[in-house]
Amino acid sequence: VKAMEWYQKAAAAGDGDAVYNIGFLYANEPGSIDYQKAMEWYNKAAATGNTDAMSNIGWMYEKGETGSVDYAIAMKWYQKAAAAGNGTAMNNIGWMYESGEGVKKDYKKAMEWYNKAALSGNADALNNIALLYEEGKGVKKDMEKAAEWYKKSGEAKSQLE
């Protein structure tokens, strides 16, 4: 609650990150989740160029937090964020291709997007690459490569803690 007050003051002063953080609190704060307000604040933050907000808008459309699932709009927001270098959005595009959500299932495209995400520093993408090698999806099944990617994923995630 105190954080919200400070973010609102900073947002009123024009701080784009604060605008994003208000949206994040509305989307994630237990007991006060309000996806409609989160979307309003994410849109304001996206208008300032905040790529995390763009990616989160995509996620809300992908998961139906906007009232209904809309993969086409989700992809549009992910692509916008990815074009600006957002690794989470790149990883999410990879997931859409891997799962066939809103697009034709395409493991090769999934791998391409996971690689882009990994190069941008997204730790989840490292794990997703490992899974594709382990399961032989879009690539030749290769347990050795899978193990290498799992190791990279573990190392990256331990650095985030």
Quick one: pLDDT at residue 14? 86
What's the whole-model pTM score? 0.91
Query: Which tokens go with 57?
Result: 């808008």
Please give the Cα distance from 50 to 112 (Å, whole number).
Answer: 24
CA-to-CA separations, 147 to 96, 101, 133, 144, in angstroms, rounded: 24, 27, 9, 5
| CB contact at 8 A, 10 and 22 | no
Q: Give the count of alpha carbons within 13 A of 127, CB side only.
A: 13
Burial of 122 (0-12, 13-18, 19+ CB in 10 A): buried
> DSSP 3-state assignment of 50?
coil
Q: What residue ranges of the chain have pLDDT lower than 50?
A: none
Query: Which tokens go with 122?
Result: 């997204």
Angle between helices 51-63 and 87-99 (to 10 degrees): 20
Q: What is the pLDDT of residues 134-155, one digit of tens each?
A: 999 999 999 999 999 999 988 8
